[in-house]
Amino acid sequence: MIILTGASGGIGRAILSSLMTLDEVIAIYNKNPPEISGMTGVTAYQVDLTSESAVDDFVVGMKDKLSRITLIHAAALARQDRLAVQFKTEDWDQVMEVNLRGNFLLTRALLMPMIKEKWGRIIHFSSAAGMHVAPGTLAYSTSKTALLGMSRVLSNEYARFGITSNVLINGYFNAGMYQDLSEKAQKKLIDSIPSRQLGDPVNIVNAIEFLMKSDYVNGSEISIDGGL
């Protein structure tokens, strides 16, 4: 089964129907339930990833249903447009709580079922913003590069249990966070892409399918950014 966080976000919504064709999907959201009526094989669950008890309760509640887990960490928070000197502590904390701590809590809770089955796929969503210098995104960029460290440690610790951990470094897609940017910022980003085009989210689904099928691709990072 695929457990997708951020299922209600721009990218989550864009990939949900294609993920359905790969496996049963558990779609996790926080405040905005994803539109899943008419979709077979998708179940939505509200889980606030900043709450340890909510994460643990979700996994305990799912205990008897969990099998061949592909965990896709798409949930994230961005606080943009403030230079470091003005960056608010609460914004920093909120970003880290979702992007890193939430990822850690859910990964930790699902590792034991994966270990028992000797199979698991953990897929983190990083961002081109974390790889290239993106002023004004201090906390977001920091969290997105930190995921590379988290994924590499996981890939090493659990390889012997048939579990892989990899990172998709996403470029820019006409969805979610990208749409929240000003027109000026959007244009600047498009101008920086060699193809001058935003990505089609199908590229993300293709990479997920590849990682689901690959037991020897582990601790890797795949850039999906049009050559950015």
Ligand X SMILES: NC(=O)c1ccc[n+]([C@@H]2O[C@H](COP(=O)([O-])OP(=O)(O)OC[C@H]3O[C@@H](n4cnc5c(N)ncnc54)[C@H](OP(=O)(O)O)[C@@H]3O)[C@@H](O)[C@H]2O)c1
The site for ligand X (CB under 6 A) is made up of 5-12, 29-32, 48-50, 74-77, 98, 102, 125, 127-128, 170, 172-173, 175-178
Closest distance of CB 221 from ligand X, Å: 13
CA atoms of 223 and 220, how far apart (whole Å)? 10
Closest distance of CB 94 from ligand X, Å: 9
135: left (phi over 0), alpha (psi -120 to 50) or beta: beta
* Nearer to ligand X (CB atom), residue 115 or residue 190: 190
Closest distance of CB 115 from ligand X, Å: 24
* Nearer to ligand X (CB atom), residue 115 or residue 181: 181
* Nearer to ligand X (CB atom), residue 74 or residue 114: 74
* Nearer to ligand X (CB atom), residue 104 or residue 119: 104
* Nearer to ligand X (CB atom), residue 13 or residue 114: 13
Does an H or E element contain 2, and which?
strand 2-4
Q: Contact, 117 vs 134, CB < 8 A?
A: no
Closest distance of CB 185 from ligand X, Å: 12
Angle between helices 202-213 and 10-19 (to 10 degrees): 50
Closest by CA to 31, choosing from 62, 4, 9, 59, is 9
Closest distance of CB 174 from ligand X, Å: 7
CB neighbour burial string for 181-203, b if at least 16 within 10 angstroms, e if fewer: beeeebeebbeebeeeebbebeb
* Nearer to ligand X (CB atom), residue 98 or residue 222: 98
Closest by CA to 19, choosing from 118, 121, 119, is 121
Angle (CA) 118-46-13 rounded to 5° is 85
Closest distance of CB 76 from ligand X, Å: 3
| DSSP-based three-state secondary structure for 101 | helix
Does an H or E element contain 4, and which?
strand 2-4
